[in-house]
Structure 1
Amino acid sequence: MTNVTIVTGGSRGIGAATARRLAAAGHHIAIGYHHDHHAAKAVLADIHATGRRGIAVPADTRDPDQVQQLFDAAADLGPLTGLVNNAGITSPIGPFTDLRVDDLRRVVDVNLIGYVLCAQQAARRMTRGGAIVNISSAAATLGSPGEYIHYAAVKAATDTLTIGLAKELAPRGIRVNAVAPGIIRTDIHAVSGVPDRADSAAGRIPLGRAGEPDEIAATIAFLLGPDASYTTGAVVRIAGGL
C-alpha cells in the first residue's frame, strides 16, 4: 500500500522538514499551507525530486470548508494513510494580564479548532493502518509563565485530543500520537516578537541548544511508520531535557 500523508503547515519549519523526510521515505505528500506560495513551491519541488507525488493546497485550517477541500485534493494521490496536524501559531510573548482577546482567539482557533477539524476529516476517511500525529509542545506541561500561558493551555488540550482520539479510533486500527517539541529553530519565534529565541533560550535547555526541525521530523516519521505499530495515545517529548 502506498502511503499518502497530509502535512498541514507544510511550507515551513517542522512541517516542511517532515514533508521532505516522508517523501524520501516513500510517502506521497499533500501539504497544506496558509499564504507563502513561494515556500510551498520549494517544498513541493523537493518532494517531486524524490520521485514521489505531491500537491500544495492553500488552506486556512480554521475553516471547515477549506479543510475539506484540502482532504479532497489529497484524495487524488490515493487513499489517505497519514495526517500530520502541524499548522500552528503563537502570539506576542508577554505577561498573562496583557493578553489580547484577538490573539487568544487566533491561537485557540488555529492550534485547537484547526487540529480538531483536520483530525475529524482524517478519522472519517482513514481505514485500518492509518495514523495521525499531532504536534503538541513541551509548553503543555511547563505552562510558559511570562510568555504565553494561553498557548501552553491549548497544547495541553492537544495532548488530551490525542489520548481520547487514540482510544476511540484504536478499534478501527487507526493510531493517534503526538510529539511535544521544546524550543526548535524555526521562524515561528518571530511571530512571538523574539526572533532570536532559539539562541537566547539555549542557556535554560539542559542539552544547551535549541532543536532542529529535522530532529522533530524524524520522530514524526517513526510514529507514522510500521515500527510504531503498537504505539498509540503517546505524547513523545523532544525538548532537550526541558
Structure 2
Amino acid sequence: MLVTGAGRGIGAAVARLAAARGHDLLLTWRGGEDAAQATAAACREAGAAVELVQADAGDAVATARAFAALDRRFGRLDALVANAGITGPASDFLASTDETWAEVFRVNVLGLASACRHAAARMATGRGGQGGGIVAVSSRAAQIGSAFEFVHYAASKGAVDSLVLGLARELAGEGIRVNAVAPGMIDTDIHASAGIPERIDRIVPNIPLRRMGTPEEVAETILFLLSPASAYVTGAVLPVGGGR
C-alpha cells in the first residue's frame, strides 16, 4: 500500500492501521521528518516492511520518484491511499488570491491525478497488474462549500469527487475500485495550520454527533473501502462527518 501524506493526522492513522492488518507500506511525507519517522517506526514495530520517501504530492517528479521506490522495494502495488492535501490560508473569497487557488489545486487535484495515474498503470489487469483499490481523501467541504473560509479548498475537493467518479467508471474493467472518504471535522492540526484554531469551538456544536472525529475513525473507513468487505463498492464518496 502506498499512503501519501503519511507523516501525521489521517495519513499516519491509515499507515498504522494498515501495518497492523498486514500491509507493507510505501509512505510519503512533505514536511515534519520526525513525525514521518515516528509513523514509519510504529509501522515497522507492527511487522510491516516500510519504505519512507519525502515527496511533495503536487510535484510530478517527486511522485514518480516515490512510485519508482515502491517498484524497487516491493515490485507491486495493491492499494493507494491518496491522503496528502492542503487547505491554503483561510479567507473569504474576495480576499483569496490566484496564487492560493493555484497552489491548492496543484496539490489536491493535479497531484491526486498524477498519483492515481501511476497507481492505475501498475494495478491495471490489462497491463499485467492484479487489480487493486484507490481511496482518495476528499472533504465534506465539497458539499458544504466552506463560505468565508475555504471556498478554494472546497472547490478542489469537489474536483476530487468528480475525479473519483470518473476513474471508478473508467478503471472498473481493469480490476481497480476507486472510492473516496469525505471527512468532516477531524481532530488533527489542519485547523491550526490554516490559522484558525478557534474554528473547532465554533463548528463542533453544529455537528449532530456533537464531537470531532478521530483520524483513526477515518482510517477504519478507508481500510474498509480497500477490503473485500466492500467488493461491490466503487465510485462512492463516503461521508465521515458525524452527520454534518
Per-residue deviation, residues 155-181 of structure 1 (Å, max 9, x unmatched) = 011000000000111001110000000
Aligned partner of residue 178 in structure 2, secondary structure? strand
2-side partners of 1:230 and 1:103: how far apart? 38
What percent of counterpart residues are identical? 47
Per-residue deviation, residues 87-122 of structure 1 (Å, max 9, x unmatched) = 011122221100022211111111111100100100
Deviates more, 1:84-93 or 1:211-220: 84-93
Q: Which residue of 2 aligns with 1:80?
A: 77
Residue 100 (str. 1) matches residue 102 (str. 2): no
Specify the code of the residue in structure 2 equivalent to 1:170: A
Residue 27 (str. 1) matches residue 27 (str. 2): no
Q: Which residue of 2 aligns with 1:185?
A: 187
2-side partners of 1:235 and 1:119: how far apart? 16
2-side partners of 1:23 and 1:196: how far apart? 34
Aligned partner of residue 201 in structure 1, secondary structure? helix
Q: Which residue of 2 aligns with 1:52?
A: 48
Structure 1 segments, 4+ long, off by >6 Å, are none
Structure 1: tracts of 5 or more residues without a match: none
Per-residue deviation, residues 190-215 of structure 1 (Å, max 9, x unmatched) = 22211243343211111111111001
Per-residue deviation, residues 130-170 of structure 1 (Å, max 9, x unmatched) = 00000000011111111111111110110000000001110
TM-score (norm 2): 0.95
- After the TM superposition, which residues 126-205 of structure 1 pair with which residues of structure 2 at under 5 Å, given as runs? 126=123, 127-205=129-207
Q: Which residue of 2 aligns with 1:64?
A: 60
Q: Which residue of 2 aligns with 1:15?
A: 11
2-side partners of 1:29 and 1:200: how far apart? 37
Specify the code of the residue in structure 2 equivalent to 1:167: R
Query: What is the deviation of 1:128?
Result: 3.4
Specify the code of the residue in structure 2 equivalent to 1:81: D
Specify the code of the residue in structure 2 equivalent to 1:33: W
Q: Which residue of 2 aligns with 1:112?
A: 109
Whether contact under 8 Å (1:184, 1:198) holds in the other structure is no
Structure 2: tracts of 5 or more residues without a match: 124-128
1-side partners of 2:97 and 2:226: how far apart? 37
TM-score (norm 1): 0.96
2-side partners of 1:197 and 1:211: how far apart? 15
Aligned partner of residue 233 in structure 2, secondary structure? coil
